[in-house]
Structure 1
Amino acid sequence: MIGIHSVHRRLAELTEKAERLGGYERLSILEQKDIAHCLKLNAQVVRRIDELKQLSFIAYQANDAEWQHELCNQLDALEANLS
């Protein structure tokens, strides 16, 4: 199953509405602020996933199975919340 983070779902909703209205500038100020907020949260989620994957690779290269397992658990928990 592919998870969709709530931030991604909200961005999709706002994008579809903007397309129906004829552009993002036609969204309300509140909706435009919501897009900016969602983009910021999206960047944080992506940054954290990338960080955990990079650290996991470093742990693998260092042959530190315990650290790698801990990082993979954190990544699994984060990805489990993508719904």
Structure 2
Amino acid sequence: MTIYINPIHRRLAELTEKAQRLGGYPHLSPMELYELFECLDANLNQIRKIDKLNGLFTAAWAAGDFEWLVELEQRAVRELKGG
């Protein structure tokens, strides 16, 4: 079994690991710092989408709308994969 890791989170981990090896974030290149901030922005956008889906999921569950629940679950899976 393979556990899926979002590419955004993988790149954040790689940049953080490199920064730790070098002695901190200021030691990353300007391009790496730019990439770090781009990843942080992408992560924020993804979390906002997932939070919205969680709210809709709660509403669908409360309404007993199981077709909607399936649709929302599929959308959530796509979001987790960065789609």
TM-score by length of 1: 0.85
Q: Please, which runs of 5 or more residues in structure 2 have no aligned partner?
A: none
* 4+ runs deviating over 3 angstroms: none
**C-alpha distance 50-2 of structure 1, shift in aligned 2 (>3 A):** farther
In 2, Cα distance between the equivalents of 1:64 and 1:27?
49
* Alignment match, 2:40: 39
Shift of 1:27: 0.7
Shift of 1:78: 2.8
* Alignment match, 1:17: 18
* Alignment match, 1:67: 68
| Counterpart amino acid of residue 17 in structure 1 | K
In 2, Cα distance between the equivalents of 1:14 and 1:27?
8
CA RMSD after TM alignment:
1.5
Number of matched residues?
81
Shift of 1:77: 2.9
Q: Please, which runs of 5 or more residues in structure 1 have no aligned partner?
A: none
**C-alpha offsets along residues 32-76 of structure 1, whole Å, 9 cap, x if unaligned?**
111000000011111112211221111110122222221112112
TM-score by length of 2: 0.85
